[in-house]
Structure 1
């Protein structure tokens, strides 16, 4: 049990979407073994062309069916009673992740302590590029997905979050609210394991360069 819950306080709270396989999520162990509370959201629980799991334990019971977009994410958090100062947010829609987190940051109502995002390890570490936003878009399995680690890091820093870690497999990156960190831990170097794991985009779509969105005084080229 988490110390906060043991002391009679509220249990730690998570929010995770793209939650098609509840047993394989960042929040799974926290939910099952550590008494965390929270919500799982997905547009098609148990369904995905990249690995469906209709019968995965918990799909029918705990995953709430919602299609999360940059326009409705704040409204959905309010609808489902998410605390404003909660503990763990995981954004893993495979497409609009950058834009959805950006919408939350710009709104400012919800300030999770830790944020995990799905990033694209096939994009160079020195490029700040993301997919072009399209509210109803879904990943087609190609390299055209989410955004580069640098794009997330620049945005996070400008809203008071610091890069903490990227998985060795190169898919999830973790950011921590800077006010919770020692000063020396607020500027860790980015690390990216380039995978070259995605096939080319059949539509040859161009990524959006967001490098100058969060650099004070910089002019977009």
Structure 2
């Protein structure tokens, strides 16, 4: 997978050419990454959970519609006989394993229990562009659910050294730069509960693996930490600028989630992280060292009129 990195420094529309055969259903090359991960580490039950379905049509779901949703797990279902459940806040489609549920930090484990999710479910995919870090925390903090592998979409606008997240209030994503959580925020939460970063994509997702699963096939010291994996990847400007101070006010340092600081301090720390990210991106733009993911997003993270 490391060989893909050099091919993924360009715009999103170029990414499909970098890994032939690795992108069939997924948004980028998650299809290939997941197959490689489970070829190496094996499976316990071939069960998955994915949420953040993103289906907004009023029409009934079909096989073709499921194929087009850019799901991380679709190829596992189609080609490898996996089974699982999809959670969505709006859609219910039992024929495709889609359950309607509003997931929060406090409800996520109960929702998993009601759906019959195994405690050692092989794979969980989290992509809600908002409270991702809170859902990861809620999933792991009780110890009842211990997925073997977890992927989360991260916010690539931030430095690899800054751990920030949107606050616990879910808001719909409107295509702007403040969303979800930084890579370090997600990695730090995972580390608290015995997970290591396995792979950081240049855009989109990072993959966490339970330490005992990793140790079954690899010496832990051979897997690069975030700082090394993020070299040449972070920060990378994504999406349109935020335009409201309300969006900035929803940003908090991950230490607030972990109970290590208060909300006011967490907001101040997050604003400092935002300023560092803006400065780093501006420096990279001036030196021509970091392309943006899309032509129209070569702009600041936030721009207030």
Structure 1 distance, partners of 2:138, 2:53, is 20
Structure 2 distance, partners of 1:123, 1:162, is 20
Please point out which of 97, 100, 105 is paired with 1:62: 97
Q: Which residue of 2 aligns with 1:172?
A: 205
Q: Which residue of 2 aligns with 1:144?
A: 178
Unaligned runs of 5+ in 2: 1-34, 36-42, 56-65, 270-305
Other structure's SS at 2:187 match = helix
1:193 CA displacement: 4.3
Q: Which residue of 2 aligns with 1:33?
A: 79
Larger Rg: 2
Is 1:122 aligned to 2:157, yes or no? Answer: yes
1:116/1:61 Cα in 2 relative to 1: closer, same or farther (>3 Å)?
Answer: same
Tell me if structure 1 keeps the 8 A contact 2:159–2:234. no
1:183 CA displacement: 2.2
1:208/1:163 Cα in 2 relative to 1: closer, same or farther (>3 Å)?
Answer: same
Is 1:210 aligned to 2:254, yes or no? Answer: yes
Tell me if structure 2 keeps the 8 A contact 1:11–1:35. no
Other structure's SS at 1:179 match = helix
Alignment RMSD: 2.9
1:159 CA displacement: 0.9
* Residue correspondences, number: 199
Other structure's SS at 1:105 match = helix
1:61 CA displacement: 3.4
Structure 1 distance, partners of 2:222, 2:99, is 35
Other structure's SS at 2:121 match = coil
More helix by share: 2
TM-score, scaled to structure 2: 0.59
Structure 2 distance, partners of 1:78, 1:214, is 24
Q: Which residue of 2 aligns with 1:199?
A: 240
Deviations 1:47-95 (A, max 9, x none): xxxxxxxxxxx89733222221112111110110000111000011111
1:126 CA displacement: 1.4
Please point out which of 93, 97, 109 is paired with 1:74: 109
Tell me if structure 1 keeps the 8 A contact 2:199–2:208. yes
1:25/1:211 Cα in 2 relative to 1: closer, same or farther (>3 Å)?
Answer: same
1:140 CA displacement: 2.3
Other structure's SS at 1:133 match = coil
Q: Which residue of 2 aligns with 1:106?
A: 141
Structure 1 distance, partners of 2:258, 2:107, is 23
